[in-house]
Amino acid sequence: MFDYLYGVTFHNAVGNGKTKPCRISALDRDKKLHDIVIKLSAGCDRKEADLAIEAIGSFLACDLGIHTPQSFVVGIDPKFVNSISDNLFKKEKNLLSLSYPYAFGSSYLTGFNTITSPLPKLTELQLIQAAKIFAFDALIKNFDRKKSNPNCLTNGKDFAVIDHELAFYPKLFSMEPNIWDTGYMDTIPYKDHIFFDSLKNQNIDLSELKKSWLTLNNKRLEQYSLALPDDWRSSEIAAIAIKNALTHIKDIRDNIEPALHEIKRVLI
């Protein structure tokens, strides 16, 4: 599920994101060069646990037919870190030196840029993509794809989602509704989602997404965990986060019909 790469050339920091992503070139085992964006453990609140959740979110999006950049495990060795200019990228170099030896990487999508709000009128194909993304975020509790911070890329035709490390948070209180309960959507900031205004009062069909969720068997979900580097799974906080995420996905799969019905309720 993961290809392993090794960083060779540092290019620049990417945007002003909280996790301080960086664009680099990296080699795979066949010496093929890849242009990628990496997310480092030292830039994340929960360190390696967030990298694991980022990966699980990416795996899930792919399995559900939602476009997301190809993901990688990226080795960061001292030789690569030492090659970075102290004068130009001192902060980024320090972040790399403080991070675990493996970063989360995703392909740099040439021709794609961050979506800006307000959105133009979406095409029929774009509405189908947007509906999947809106539902995906509601189901995995990812509230970070909002108008002020879209975490979504476009080439003018297609969308690609990025940044899932804040997803899959468990209930904080026992009285919180389940995602498939009527009223769940009223407890989350769904109106802030980048695609809500475009989807409101549209005839949204989520049957294809439902079928994709139902194909997620337990063996496949186990592969999500086994694909992660040991460094991302070894701490107690990471182990708990991974277990919670996989349980969350199973619960949604087992209750997908009422969960999607609840999502469609707020779009009517």
Q: What are the sequence ranges of the domains in the chain?
A: 3-107, 113-266
**The pLDDT of residue 15:** 79
Digit-coded pLDDT (tens) for 76-116: 999 999 999 999 999 999 999 999 899 999 999 999 999 99
| SS3 of residue 42 by DSSP | helix
39 strand-pairing partners: 104
Helix, strand, coil tally for the chain in percent (to 5): 40, 15, 40
Any idea which residue has 């996905």 for tokens?
249
pLDDT at residue number 77: 94
Exposure string for 228-240, b = 16+ CB within 10 A, e = fewer: bbebbbeeeebee
Q: What one-letter code names the amino acid at 259? A: A
Residue ranges of the chain whose pLDDT lies below 50: none
The Cα–Cα gap between 53 and 266 comes to: 27
pTM for the whole structure = 0.96
The whole-number pLDDT of residue 170 equals 86
Residue-level pLDDT at 162: 97
What confidence score (pLDDT) does residue 16 get? 73
Q: What pLDDT was estimated at residue 171?
A: 82
Length of the chain, in residues = 268
Q: Structure tokens of 36?
A: 């990628």
Tell me, what's the pLDDT at 211?
Answer: 98
Residue 117 burial by Cβ neighbours in a 10 Å radius (0-12, 13-18, 19+): exposed
The residues near 248 (Cβ < 8 Å, ≥ 6 apart) are: 140, 141, 168, 170
d(CA 205, CA 245): 26
Hey, CA dihedral for 130, 135, 137, 140, is it positive or negative?
negative
Query: Given the structure tokens 């990226």, which residue do they identify?
Result: 74
